[in-house]
Structure 1
Amino acid sequence: MATNIFYALRATSAALALIAGSSLAYGEPMHGIAMYGTPDLPQDFVSLPYADPTAPKGGKIVTGEGGTFDSLNPFVQKGTSPWQLRYMLAESLMGRAYSEPFTLYCLLCETIDTDEDRTWAEFTLRPEARFSDGSPVTPEDVIWSYEKLGTEGHGRYASLWGQIASIEKTGDASVKFTFNTDNRELALLVGMRPILQKAQWEGKDFTQSGFDEIPIGSAPYTVTDYDAGTFVELTRNPDYWGKDVPFMRGQANLDTIRWEFFADSSLVIEAFKAGELNSHREFNVQTWDDQYDFPAVERGDVIKSIIPHERPSGMTGFVMNTRLPQFSDWRVRQALIEAFNFEYINEVQTGSQQSRITSYYSNSVLGMTSGPAEGRVAQMLAPYADDLPPDTLEGYVFPATSGSLNDRQSTRRALGLFKDAGYTVQDGVMKDARGAPYTFEILLQSGDDENQSIIDTYTQSLIQIGITPTITVVDRPQYRERSDTFDFGMTTFRRGLSLSPGNEQKTYWGSEAAEIEGSRNVMGVQSKAVDGLIETMLSSQSKDDFIAATRALDRVLTAGRYVIPIYQWNISRVAHAKELTYPKTLPIYGDWIGWQPDVWYWNE
């Protein structure tokens, strides 16, 4: 299936949809809401542009996951549930369109209303909205869901709850949220929380549920079979209430969705080759080229699809815990980055076919530009001149090596930086002025074979400069516990970023989050510049200021040298049964949450 129309149609328009200059007709209920300007789709739209409203219903998708699970309630802190489940069990007041940077369209609600400053948002529910057991979705369910999730649910819901001054029922089918924070994004965020059934939890402990009580939502699918830690199967509800809602036309087409779990993640591809799975995302380009020549591919029963996108690269690599003295000095972090021979590792792992991440928002309109900061970006950085990491204004670039196993230039640069930071090699060991060896722990999760291989190569480079790290491999529960409590020196890191960064940036890099166990500020960033630029981004009134603030933030984070970056995936590689089909028009987010399996269908 051809996918090159993606760039031709979207590169100059949809990825920049946030530049729309018109303003919302405030005080008038709308069918959707955009972070900037107005939604692209009119009130009478038929379906999302990347969904096929004529897609047939039927068929199944079976995918594999490394790891396990011990809960089917993704909305509480207790236990580990399949990550996809929170997107599949419950619907929200509005749904996100991945054909636009940040636009929501009504789903459970019929309309949304807000004021010019977005200090409040009022939703009117659709009269036909129903939970999977047939009972209506009511304002009471909405109010209960926000309060319960905000006070007893998973920690991801607490931040929004703290910014809601009040929730009130304003009519038989309407609910109004009033905010206590000056944040224009809140009017959108309140449309995205899962709505659960209040009656289900009367007299029950919501926080302790796992397998005994699977949450009831209004979504098209329900859990119909599972084996703890082994598989979960969901079945499409033939009586799903929202099949004719414009946002849902062409979505939820498959009858069955099944996730198989493997303790050893390397077995996932083998299960796919054996026909136990019928769709698989491949993240290693060399594996894609070398191992997808099995009979089903040769017969044409399995299709190899390349899916491009224009979303930010995010950051993938190995994060350094700056809370520890071993990583508090930027010169040491730079030295450890210098010692990471990416070009050699890339050749070994992918045949040098994978490009490296250059910044947190690279591959998108929000990414920092090369060279010195200019214009609005420079103006926004100026107040923080004393707090900026070196090379922020000049434009930081990750170092490159010759690609040979022993790159002498990178070794010399690393040794020079360590010397500047007060460390020298003594008797073959990197030591400080008091003679104490410099070392740290690298924490890895069992079954993560690719990162283990990368770290093994990296360790050899570290040994050459007198550093012998401790490598600790633990199972998934232990890994989660240790990473949540920041009990590591260096560990794997992945942070996906969108074309519409917002409040989540505070949890990713904000100073306050750095001190909260379980927060997503894993590296421990504490920077006035980062905090200030996030606030500038959130309060931006124009697309120009928004883009400039994000590009400035990208510069500060990148020059902070918190992560040793590895590959960026500017395309997705999905191998799938020939019957599994996706529409020809692709969203700017490409293969992202809300695309597979939502708009895929079974074509005999």
Structure 2
Amino acid sequence: MSVLLRALTISLLLPLASPLAAAPVTSHALTLRGAPALPAGFSHFDYVNPDAPKGGRLRLDGLGTFDSLNQFINKGIPADGLSRIYDTLTTSSEDEPMTRYGLLAKSIEHDPDDASWVIYRLRPEARFSDGRPVRARDVVFSFDIIRSQGAPAYKAYFADVASVEALDPLTVRFRFRGKDNHELPMIVGELPILPEHYWRKRDFTRGGLDIPVGSGPYVIGSLEPGRRISYRRNPEYWGRDLAVNRGQYNFDEVSYVFYRDSGVAFEGFKAGQFDLRQENKAKTWATEYRFPAVRDGRVVLLEQQHQNPSPMQGFAFNLRRQPLDDRRVREALSQAFDFEWANRALFYGAYRRTHSYFDNSELAARGEPAAAERRLLEPWRKQLPAAVFGPAVMAPVSRGDGYDRDNLLRAQAMLKAAGWHYRDGALRNAAGQAMQLEMLLVQPEFERIVQPLKRNLARLGIRLDIRILDAAQYIERLRQFDFDLTVTGVPASLSPGNELWGYFGSQAADSPGSGNLMGLKSPVVDALIGQITRARTREELVTEVRALDRVLRAEWLMIPQFHIPTYRIARWDRFGLPERPPRHGTGIDAWWWDAARAARLERRSRAAADDGAADTAPASGEPR
């Protein structure tokens, strides 16, 4: 059955089904499928300590710099942590990634069978940080200004929202262009709510460092432009006693200090300039966490398991540019990355190779397509690579010796088929032009991972230049898609939906600043994303996401890298932690300042300093 005929058949059946349709319901939460794990009237999330004390501070690190306190526009570099000053209509539990519980919203009215609308009713006690009430007109204003004047990605993300209307001072209704996308009612609940009275007379597109008014648990306390920003817990925060907030946001102050790169940041952590480091370098974790504060227990190391699908991290190709617009060239270049050697020589065997855009989950395509997947893909056979209909495409496997001749010979054959031949010391096309590419980086430490790829490409006659930029230049070039290759990651969800438009949708490919860095434009991918957003059962969703995964992998949009199913966290031992972490997050917002531990740590650090030990933990410090 064709896709069109199938859609017509379903539409003809809808009137027959309507007498059995469920009536609209009013609830404390929205969930994409099934029921929320926590009932109305629940007291707190299961992974928090509801009696956690308030006080103390948490110091974190940021990379690069910042010059803006407006995170919603495509101008400037926003400071880390700005989400702490804003509340949204709903919030999520880190145990349930696809459920949203009311935050600013006291209740949510929706129709389980008709996702063409949703109504949010606000809590009358909700207040902005300046004491003014949060009202429905602020919700309408926030949606309108973010979609019309915010970063282009918002316009794509909210494209299917037809209208937003304040029904009364505390009630707002969203209407959608269709009635099958059951994620949209949840997505609009994620919208940060801005105060109309603050922004109405200001230029929303300007950016800058004027301190905005928010409604969240924190307000901006102080800042040093480009270097440091601190958030102060608002003692008048309207939502401090809500069940969704109980046991969270416990620190009186959360601050970020900025470093030019992660290597400098690591030295700052060792010196006690900030409290917590989430380590993403296997070599550093394996060999460099041996400084005195680790050995004597003042710094605690934690490998925290999670149940998240692993994002696709890799070397992303810019399909807007030749010769990277040729799938055969992209697949050939992918043969030159020797993961097995890198994992042994650079990463101490810490990583697993990433193959899927939804690795570490049931959503990843495996083996031959199932019958249901084939039914989805068959109408598009002429537009798809043949590999889509065979075993799921896997990243190349090497001997692990750093020079895998077999893979390079395969790459050479693919390049010849694409019209590239080695002559006069370089790989050239029919016009005699040599293949020369640039890898754009912002983290200098990534160069050691790129250099082996560069050497292997040189053996094929391809020149790869490595360009390392500061954060501002790097962000601007990515916004304008001004690169050949870069390192990036595509977030993965247990229940993918509308966000896929921003990463892989054709419209996003031409929107500066969008998440579709690769520039993929595919009617097949667009059609599959549309079906994913309309999935009504988990079984449908899994089938449709696996079909999409097959297509994305066969397009060779990236050279896949690696992942681990744990968070690697190092922390100075001055905090209390709940009994168990959440299933799908770090849970850091549920930590608290443990005054006894903090005092003990300070005594031990002073003793270590008196003994002449390096890497002590002063009460405060400046970046080196």
Structure 1's unaligned 5+ residue stretches are 1-22
Aligned counterpart in structure 1 of residue 119 of structure 2, from 122, 135, 145: 122
Q: In structure 2, what is the Cα distance between the partners aligned to 1:196 and 1:498?
A: 27
1:330-349 aligned at under 5 Å gives the runs 330-349=327-346
Aligned counterpart in structure 2 of residue 578 of structure 1, from 563, 573, 577: 573
Distance 1:331 1:319, change over 3 A: same
Distance 1:322 1:201, change over 3 A: closer
8 Å Cα contact 2:444/2:468 also seen in 1: no
Deviation at 1:140, TM superposition (A): 1.8
Q: In structure 2, what is the Cα distance between the partners aligned to 1:346 and 1:427?
A: 34
Q: Which amino acid aligns with 2:202?
A: K
8 Å Cα contact 1:323/1:524 also seen in 2: yes
Deviation at 1:554, TM superposition (A): 1.0
Give 1:16's aligned residue.
none
Give 1:458's aligned residue.
453
Deviation at 1:26, TM superposition (A): 4.4
Deviation at 1:329, TM superposition (A): 2.0
Aligned counterpart in structure 2 of residue 555 of structure 1, from 538, 550, 554: 550
Give 1:210's aligned residue.
208
1:262-411 aligned at under 5 Å gives the runs 262-369=259-366, 371-394=367-390, 395-411=392-408
Q: In structure 2, what is the Cα distance between the partners aligned to 1:150 and 1:205?
A: 15
Give 1:590's aligned residue.
585
Q: Which amino acid aligns with 2:309?
A: P
1:482-501 aligned at under 5 Å gives the runs 482-501=477-496
Give 1:167's aligned residue.
164
Aligned counterpart in structure 2 of residue 533 of structure 1, from 528, 535, 559: 528
8 Å Cα contact 2:278/2:569 also seen in 1: yes
SS at match of 2:231: strand
Give 2:34's aligned residue.
37
- How many residue pairs get aligned? The number is 573
SS at match of 1:266: helix
Q: In structure 2, what is the Cα distance between the partners aligned to 1:26 and 1:67?
A: 52
8 Å Cα contact 2:412/2:460 also seen in 1: yes
8 Å Cα contact 1:112/1:123 also seen in 2: yes
Q: Which amino acid aligns with 1:207?
A: T
Q: In structure 2, what is the Cα distance between the partners aligned to 1:269 and 1:26?
A: 56
SS at match of 2:463: coil
8 Å Cα contact 1:24/1:37 also seen in 2: no
Query: Cα deviation per residue 1:313-338 (whole Å; 9 max; x = unaligned)?
Result: 11111111112221122221111111
Distance 1:547 1:508, change over 3 A: same
Q: In structure 1, what is the Cα distance between the partners aligned to 2:578 and 2:398?
A: 42
Query: Cα deviation per residue 1:421-476 (whole Å; 9 max; x = unaligned)?
Result: 1222113311123332122222222xx12221212221111111111123323222
Q: In structure 2, what is the Cα distance between the partners aligned to 1:508 and 1:202?
A: 32
8 Å Cα contact 1:280/1:575 also seen in 2: yes
Deviation at 1:168, TM superposition (A): 2.1
2:591 pairs with 1:600:
yes
SS at match of 1:120: strand
Deviation at 1:167, TM superposition (A): 2.1
Aligned counterpart in structure 2 of residue 107 of structure 1, from 103, 119, 123: 103
Give 1:196's aligned residue.
194
Q: In structure 2, what is the Cα distance between the partners aligned to 1:223 and 1:150?
A: 25
Deviation at 1:161, TM superposition (A): 4.4
Give 1:3's aligned residue.
none
Q: In structure 2, what is the Cα distance between the partners aligned to 1:601 and 1:166?
A: 41
SS at match of 1:259: strand
Q: Which amino acid aligns with 1:465?
A: L
8 Å Cα contact 2:153/2:515 also seen in 1: no
Q: In structure 1, what is the Cα distance between the partners aligned to 2:573 and 2:63?
A: 24
Q: Which amino acid aligns with 2:294?
A: V
Aligned counterpart in structure 2 of residue 228 of structure 1, from 222, 225, 228: 225
Deviation at 1:265, TM superposition (A): 2.7
Aligned counterpart in structure 1 of residue 509 of structure 2, from 501, 506, 514: 514
Deviation at 1:375, TM superposition (A): 2.9
Deviation at 1:387, TM superposition (A): 2.0
8 Å Cα contact 1:305/1:574 also seen in 2: yes
SS at match of 2:419: coil
Q: In structure 2, what is the Cα distance between the partners aligned to 1:327 and 1:76?
A: 30
Q: Which amino acid aligns with 2:187?
A: L
8 Å Cα contact 2:233/2:252 also seen in 1: yes
Query: Cα deviation per residue 1:158-207 (whole Å; 9 max; x = unaligned)?
Result: 23544332222223321111122342211111111001111112422222
8 Å Cα contact 1:144/1:198 also seen in 2: yes
8 Å Cα contact 1:67/1:265 also seen in 2: no
Structure 2's unaligned 5+ residue stretches are 1-19, 597-624
Q: In structure 1, what is the Cα distance between the partners aligned to 2:567 and 2:59?
A: 18
Q: Which amino acid aligns with 1:449?
A: P
Q: In structure 1, what is the Cα distance between the partners aligned to 2:538 and 2:182?
A: 13
Give 1:564's aligned residue.
559
Q: Which amino acid aligns with 1:578?
A: D
Q: In structure 2, what is the Cα distance between the partners aligned to 1:581 and 1:530?
A: 46
SS at match of 1:440: strand
Q: In structure 2, what is the Cα distance between the partners aligned to 1:511 and 1:154?
A: 17
Range with greater deviation from structure 2 (223-232 or 379-388): 379-388
Give 1:68's aligned residue.
65
Give 1:187's aligned residue.
185
Give 1:137's aligned residue.
134
Q: Which amino acid aligns with 2:590?
A: V
SS at match of 2:97: coil
Deviation at 1:363, TM superposition (A): 0.4
8 Å Cα contact 1:222/1:237 also seen in 2: yes
Deviation at 1:25, TM superposition (A): 6.8
8 Å Cα contact 2:62/2:80 also seen in 1: no
TM-score scaled by length of structure 2: 0.89
8 Å Cα contact 2:152/2:512 also seen in 1: no
8 Å Cα contact 2:31/2:100 also seen in 1: yes
SS at match of 1:327: coil
8 Å Cα contact 1:24/1:38 also seen in 2: no
Distance 1:385 1:582, change over 3 A: farther
8 Å Cα contact 1:196/1:215 also seen in 2: no
Larger Rg: 2
Q: In structure 1, what is the Cα distance between the partners aligned to 2:428 and 2:289?
A: 47
Deviation at 1:132, TM superposition (A): 1.4
Q: In structure 2, what is the Cα distance between the partners aligned to 1:473 and 1:569?
A: 26
SS at match of 1:190: helix
TM-score scaled by length of structure 1: 0.91
8 Å Cα contact 1:506/1:534 also seen in 2: yes
Give 1:14's aligned residue.
none
Range with greater deviation from structure 2 (581-590 or 191-200): 581-590
Query: Cα deviation per residue 1:122-155 (whole Å; 9 max; x = unaligned)?
Result: 1111121111122211112212111121212233
Q: In structure 1, what is the Cα distance between the partners aligned to 2:544 and 2:126?
A: 39
SS at match of 1:482: helix
1:407-486 aligned at under 5 Å gives the runs 407-445=404-442, 448-486=443-481
Q: In structure 2, what is the Cα distance between the partners aligned to 1:150 and 1:515?
A: 17
